[in-house]
Amino acid sequence: MTWLARMQLDRTALARCRFRDVYAWHQALWECFPGMPDAKRDFLTRTDWLPQGCQVYLLCRSKPVCPGWCPPECWAVRSIAPTFLQHDAYAFDLLANPTRKVAAFTADGQRTRNGRRLALLDEASRLAWMQNKAAQHGFCLDGPLRMDEAGTSVFWRRARAGTHIGVRFRGRLQVRDRQAFLHAFYHGIGSAKAFGYGMLVLQPLF
């Protein structure tokens, strides 16, 4: 079973939360899964900031519960029918962190295993990134693609600050490889998925 939860938090509710950065949100959302301290992360999140507050979405394989910091009237959850993912064409909305990986080295010149990621800042690079991700995840873009800046999110971890640059991609897609497409839906697209990026929001077409 797959579940989609939505939290609609106004400014008053946000003020009570006092989450200072996206890493704090990342930690707080684990409260939607009590009794699972050692579980492997199997959910995706997305936060859409609005003038009156924000909407937080949670896509997960385990049924979530309303966390203590979210007013019950701001919480809604529903299951996603398996047939929802059997269409051939969708409108999609993806909040992503498009990056490229480059090599990184230690002070003594040794190459690190994971390297580091650099944000893609120009439109051509972002378009190529989205086209590559589509091919990798079993679908192709169908028609115009809209790309909008979605702001920079800041996080603090181990007393160090980091940033993610968000881009919102909107368009239409055609499914080419169902299994790869399902993997993208359940596991997300791109980097920084633990910080609210990568969830593929879909609307079936014809």
pLDDT at res. 22: 76
Check whether domain 2-80 has CATH 3.30.70.1200, yes or no: yes
Nearest partner of 54 among 15, 90, 86, judged by Cα: 15
Q: Round to whole Å and give the CA distance between 37 and 35.
A: 6
For the chain, give every domain's residue range.
Answer: 2-80, 84-204
Q: Which CATH class is domain 84-204?
A: alpha beta
pTM value? 0.86
What long-range pairs does 18-25 form, CB within 8 A, spacing at least 24? Answer: 20/156, 21/153, 21/154, 21/155, 21/156, 22/153, 22/154, 22/155, 22/164, 22/195, 22/196, 23/155, 23/156, 23/157, 23/195, 25/56, 25/195, 25/196
Full pLDDT tens readout for the chain, 206 residues? 899 999 999 888 888 887 777 778 888 899 999 876 556 778 999 989 888 888 999 999 989 999 999 999 999 999 999 899 999 999 999 999 999 877 555 556 565 666 577 888 899 999 999 999 999 999 999 999 999 988 777 665 665 666 788 899 999 999 999 999 999 999 999 988 888 899 999 999 97
Same topology, domains 2-80 and 84-204? Answer is: yes
